[in-house]
């Protein structure tokens, strides 16, 4: 059933079926999400700037998720010798870079009115900036080597080494005293988000990930076409 | 096997002596960049004393990235890596020996320069002692990173600066913890323990990763 995740022709067939409904669902989710965000309550301290959260948090999650997907596909590609995983690695690296940049920019725009500064050198911000640099190095490595096998496997091993950064980003707010607040989305932790803000946040996360999936599908299809042409 | 390892190290030593002027140029680069840094920020003793450790560390890192392209390139082009492998040494063992010899022959000589440089910055005696201790641990990590990025770029013919970028990227935690160990007095032991932990992580990763890269390069060259 999940063969389309590792097989290019199955992927193409599957994507041709779901692409149009996916676009419609994405547009609907985005409109509903923006509607919810517009009518979401203001924070009693932060005022209207709390609405930056509905862009900042989804893009941060998706930046981490994209890297995690790349890590899983690198393991799969190296261990089981599946070339499709390298296509995915190449296709979704720029998407992750864009989400990381979006997270950094929206975060500093949120930080200026709330913390009084665009940028502080605390652990969370620094580790996300390093994640952005790792994404850039992956994109540059994609243009570097002449031999395709060398290029793909080099990038896969580099992604595996760079995945040390993921737990550091996740736990940086717990390990060190940072200006950035710890995660408060989970209902189990003691200071947690109110349900009226959680609903638009989750809908916006869904919309962002659907947008990411659409761009990823387009890029993967292009990459498959390019490889078919050069074979 | 022990005899093979001994012969390998002996060969590395001989190569190193035939090429010792390269090491001297590296150390000269380090001294000159320290001078240029001091000229750029002025000779105020107070400022130099506070930022000295950070500057020494970052310039040590930069001058150790100068020599990383030489790590495997000669042996790879001569075909000596293949011959060693056919002689019964696994690539992982070759990588470990290479890291060890790079640490002993290239990084340890930098230790001599640290007391001289700390005179320029008026560092007190105990800070210099801490600096040398953290450098012995940290330079082994630099050797591991150099091995990873040099083996990654064996077949890279166009984009040379990416090798240095990879070393700089992964040495960020090393810089953070080693400079922190020198600037915060009561935290010295815990930060040195963290540094040793990072060292062990990279000692575990780098033979595996470098051997994979070398295999890939030999198969496709």
ipTM of this complex prediction, to 2 decimal places: 0.83
- Using the Cβ of A144 and the Cβ atoms of chain B, whether some distance falls under 8 Å is answered with yes
Measured distance CA(B60)–CA(B143) in Å, rounded: 12
Quote the tokens at residue B210: 């470098």
Q: How confident is the model at residue B113 (pLDDT cuts 50, 70, 90)?
A: confident
A189 vs A48: which has the higher pLDDT: A48
In this predicted structure, the answer to whether residue A169 has a pLDDT above a threshold of 70 is yes
Q: What pLDDT is recorded for position A8?
A: 85
Q: What is the DSSP letter of A50?
A: G
CA-nearest residue to A147 within chain B is B220
Quote the tokens at residue A171: 């736990």
Quote the tokens at residue B38: 């001091």
Q: Give the percent of chain A with pLDDT over 70.
A: 97
Q: What pLDDT is recorded for position B76?
A: 87
Q: What value does the mean pLDDT take over residues B118-127?
A: 84
Would you call B205 and A149 a contact, using CB atoms and an 8 Å cutoff? no
Alpha helices in A81-188 (DSSP H): 83-115, 123-141, 148-162, 165-175
Q: How confident is the model at residue A146 (pLDDT cuts 50, 70, 90)?
A: confident
Q: What value does the mean pLDDT take over residues B169-173?
A: 86
Looking at the partner chain, which of B158, B205, B220 has a beta carbon nearest the beta carbon of A161? B205
Half-sphere exposure of A95 (CA within 13 A, CB side): 27
Q: What pLDDT is recorded for position A63?
A: 94
In tens, the pLDDT along A1-28 reads 777 788 888 888 888 999 999 999 999 9
Q: What pLDDT is recorded for position B71?
A: 84
Find out whether A178 and A172 touch, Cβ atoms under 8 Å: yes
Looking at the partner chain, which of B201, B209, B216 has a beta carbon nearest the beta carbon of A150? B216
In this predicted structure, the answer to whether residue A188 has a pLDDT above a threshold of 70 is no
Half-sphere exposure of B107 (CA within 13 A, CB side): 29
User: Smallest Cα–Cα separation from B195: which of B64, B48, B57?
Assistant: B57
Q: What value does the mean pLDDT take over residues A32-45?
A: 86
Q: What pLDDT is recorded for position A214?
A: 94
Quote the tokens at residue B148: 């990873």
Query: How many domains are there within chain B?
Result: 1
Q: What value does the mean pLDDT take over residues B107-116?
A: 86
Quote the tokens at residue B90: 């696994």
Q: How confident is the model at residue B177 (pLDDT cuts 50, 70, 90)?
A: confident
Which residue carries 């990025």 as its tokens?
Answer: B149
- Alpha carbon B206 to its chain centroid, in Å, reads 13
Q: What pLDDT is recorded for position A149?
A: 85
Measured distance CA(A144)–CA(A25) in Å, rounded: 38
B173 vs A27: which has the higher pLDDT: A27
A64 vs B42: which has the higher pLDDT: A64
In this predicted structure, the answer to whether residue A199 has a pLDDT above a threshold of 90 is no
Question: Best of B54, B161, B172 to disrupt the A interface by mutation (most A CBs within 10 Å)?
Answer: B172
Measured distance CA(B17)–CA(B29) in Å, rounded: 19
For residue B73, give Cα distances in angstroms to A54, A138, B8: 50, 23, 17
Q: What value does the mean pLDDT take over residues A205-218?
A: 94
Return the number of other C-beta atoms located less than 10 Å from residue B195's C-beta. Answer: 23
What are the residues facing A43 on neighbouring strands? A47
For residue B102, give Cα distances in angstroms to A82, A220, B20, B139: 36, 42, 13, 10
Return the number of other C-beta atoms located less than 10 Å from residue A48's C-beta. Answer: 9
In chain B, residues with a C-beta closer than 8 Å to the C-beta of A157 are 152, 209, 212-213
b (16+ CB within 10 A) / e for A189-215:
eeeebeeebeebbebbbbbbbbbbeee
Would you call B220 and A161 a contact, using CB atoms and an 8 Å cutoff? no
CA-nearest residue to B176 within chain A is A123
Q: What pLDDT is recorded for position B186?
A: 66
Looking at the partner chain, which of B169, B205, B213 has a beta carbon nearest the beta carbon of A133? B169
In this predicted structure, the answer to whether residue A43 has a pLDDT above a threshold of 90 is no
- Alpha carbon B77 to its chain centroid, in Å, reads 22
In this predicted structure, the answer to whether residue A187 has a pLDDT above a threshold of 80 is no
In this predicted structure, the answer to whether residue B182 has a pLDDT above a threshold of 80 is no
In tens, the pLDDT along A85-105 reads 999 999 999 999 999 999 999
Q: Give the percent of chain A with pLDDT over 90.
A: 46
Q: Where are the domains of chain A?
A: 21-38+48-180+194-230
In whole numbers, what is the pLDDT of chain B averaged over residues? 87
Alpha-carbon distance B193 to nearest alpha carbon in chain A (angstroms): 16
Long-range contact pairs involving B176-179 (C-beta distance under 8 Å, separation at least 24): B178/B57, B178/B134, B178/B135, B178/B137, B178/B138, B179/B53, B179/B54, B179/B57
Q: What pLDDT is recorded for position A143?
A: 87
Q: What residue numbers bound the domain in which B135 lies?
A: 2-220
Looking at the partner chain, which of B162, B212, B217 has a beta carbon nearest the beta carbon of A141? B162
Alpha helices in B121-159 (DSSP H): 125-152
Measured distance CA(A193)–CA(A187) in Å, rounded: 7
Q: What pLDDT is recorded for position B81?
A: 87
Measured distance CA(B72)–CA(A158) in Å, rounded: 18
Find out whether A64 and A170 touch, Cβ atoms under 8 Å: yes
Handedness of CA A20, A21, A25, A26 (dihedral sign): negative
In tens, the pLDDT along A103-144 reads 999 999 998 888 888 888 888 888 899 999 999 999 999 888
The SS3 assignment for A121 reads: coil
Q: How confident is the model at residue B2 (pLDDT cuts 50, 70, 90)?
A: confident
Long-range contact pairs involving A202-207 (C-beta distance under 8 Å, separation at least 24): A203/A29, A203/A32, A203/A33, A203/A36, A204/A33, A204/A36, A204/A37, A204/A54, A204/A55, A204/A58, A205/A57, A205/A58, A205/A61, A205/A62, A206/A29, A206/A33, A207/A26, A207/A29, A207/A30, A207/A33, A207/A58
Q: What value does the mean pLDDT take over residues A73-80?
A: 92
Which of A43-47, A75-79, A132-136, B57-61 shows the lowest per-residue confidence on average (mean pLDDT)? Answer: A43-47
In this predicted structure, the answer to whether residue B140 has a pLDDT above a threshold of 70 is yes
């Amino acid at each position: 059933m999940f063969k389309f995740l590792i097989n290019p022709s199955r992927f193409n067939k599957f994507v041709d079926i779901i692409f149009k409904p996916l676009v419609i669902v994405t547009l609907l989710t985005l409109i509903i999400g923006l509607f919810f965000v517009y009518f979401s309550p203001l924070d009693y301290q932060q005022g209207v700037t709390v609405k930056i959260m509905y862009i900042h948090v989804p893009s941060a999650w998706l930046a981490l998720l994209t890297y995690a997907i790349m890590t899983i596909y690198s393991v799969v590609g190296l261990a089981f010798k599946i070339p499709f995983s390298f296509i995915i690695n190449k296709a979704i690296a720029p998407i992750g870079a864009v989400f990381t940049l979006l997270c950094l920019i929206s975060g500093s725009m949120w930080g200026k009115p709330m913390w009084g500064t665009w940028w502080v050198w605390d652990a969370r911000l620094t580790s996300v900036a390093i994640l952005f640099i790792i994404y850039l190095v992956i994109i540059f490595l994609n243009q570097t080597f002449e031999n395709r096998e060398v290029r793909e496997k080099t990038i896969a091993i580099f992604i595996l080494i760079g995945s040390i950064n993921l737990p550091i980003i996740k736990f940086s707010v717990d390990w060190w005293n940072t200006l950035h607040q710890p995660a408060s989305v989970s209902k189990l932790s003691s200071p947690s988000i109110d349900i009226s803000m959680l609903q638009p946040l989750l809908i916006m996360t869904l919309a962002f990930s659907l947008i990411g999936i659409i761009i990823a599908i387009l890029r993967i299809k292009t990459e498959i076409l390019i490889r078919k042409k050069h074979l | 096997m022990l005899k093979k390892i001994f012969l390998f190290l002996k060969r590395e030593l001989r190569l190193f002596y035939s090429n010792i002027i390269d090491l001297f140029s590296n150390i000269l680069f380090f001294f000159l960049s320290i001078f240029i840094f001091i000229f750029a920020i002025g000779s105020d003793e107070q400022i130099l004393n506070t930022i000295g450790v950070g500057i020494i560390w970052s310039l040590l890192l930069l001058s150790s990235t100068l020599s990383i392209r030489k790590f495997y390139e000669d042996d790879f082009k001569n075909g000596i890596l293949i011959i060693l492998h056919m002689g019964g040494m696994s690539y992982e063992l070759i990588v470990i020996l290479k890291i060890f010899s790079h640490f002993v022959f290239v990084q340890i000589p930098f230790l001599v320069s640290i007391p001289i440089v700390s005179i320029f910055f008026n560092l007190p005696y105990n800070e210099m002692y801490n600096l040398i201790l953290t450098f012995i641990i940290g330079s082994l990590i630099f050797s591991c990173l150099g091995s990873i990025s040099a083996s990654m770029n064996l077949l890279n013919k166009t984009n040379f600066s990416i090798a240095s970028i990879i070393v700089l990227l992964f040495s960020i935690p090393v810089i953070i913890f080693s400079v922190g160990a020198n600037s915060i007095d009561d935290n010295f032991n815990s930060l040195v323990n963290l540094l040793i932990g990072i060292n062990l992580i990279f000692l575990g990763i780098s033979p595996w990763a470098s051997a994979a890269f070398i295999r890939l390069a030999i198969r496709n060259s």
